[in-house]
């Protein structure tokens, strides 16, 4: 099976690869040589399963994420859908002007998706504009890279941290589009019953 490396992070390598008849992403987690092999396998297996569970749960509640094809615990790899599209990071950074209407629609999609995810007690863990994509086929907003995700127990602080990470991305990478983040928060507040406590915690942390 041919694999083409497209990204290497601190925790995993990401490849494009065929899976049966479909184009796929293979995400392979590193072995941590400083850990005992049995402990390393246990922790890695837990992370792989947790990531897959969060992806499946997101799809079940209507949040667009890559479909999980196969979890290969022996080889520390998740095979999932390859999404054709453009990241929000690239969309905001390519120099093309984004109209007010387009900006509002994008903010609506992001705010509603985050509201659904948090209402289901899921934390992404790395909410940046590089992990938000607009699909080419139907312009749906897809959230990717759930490597740090977890399911919480109504933790307001964890949800506030998710939003804080996204805000920091806008401030550092897209300062010209910070109004977009403010609209995301507005939509999030309108779409999630417990948003007030999360937004209050976000403000407290600034």
Q: Which of 45, 104, 126, 203 is catalytic?
A: 126
Rounded alpha-carbon distances, angstroms, from residue 80 to 14, 55, 67, 76? 11, 10, 6, 13
- Range 20-25 contact pairs with CB under 8 angstroms and sequence separation of 24 or more: 20/69, 22/69, 22/81, 22/82, 23/82, 24/69, 24/79, 24/80, 24/81, 24/82, 25/66, 25/79, 25/80, 25/81, 25/82
Q: Is 126 a catalytic residue?
A: yes
Backbone dihedral angles phi then psi of residue 36, each to the nearest 5 degrees: -60, 135
Active site residues: 126
């Amino acid at each position: 099976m041919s694999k083409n490396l497209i990204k290497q992070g601190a925790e995993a390598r990401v490849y494009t690869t065929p899976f049966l008849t479909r184009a796929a992403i293979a995400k392979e987690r590193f072995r941590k040589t400083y850990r005992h092999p049995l402990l390393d396998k246990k922790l890695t297996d837990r992370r792989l399963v947790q990531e897959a569970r969060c992806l499946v749960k997101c799809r079940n509640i209507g949040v667009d994420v890559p479909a999980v094809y196969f979890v290969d615990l022996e080889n520390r790899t998740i095979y999932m859908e390859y999404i054709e599209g453009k990241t929000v990071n690239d969309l905001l950074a390519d120099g093309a002007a984004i109209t007010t209407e387009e900006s509002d629609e994008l903010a609506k999609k992001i705010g509603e998706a985050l509201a659904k995810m948090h209402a289901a007690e899921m934390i992404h863990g790395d909410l940046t504009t590089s992990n938000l994509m607009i699909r080419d086929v139907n312009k749906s907003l897809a959230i990717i890279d759930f490597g740090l995700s977890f399911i919480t127990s109504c933790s307001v602080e964890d949800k506030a941290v998710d939003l804080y990470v996204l805000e920091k991305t806008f401030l550092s990478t897209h300062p010209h589009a910070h109004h977009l983040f403010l609209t995301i928060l507005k939509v999030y507040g309108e779409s999630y019953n417990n948003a007030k406590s999360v937004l209050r915690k976000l403000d407290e942390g600034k």
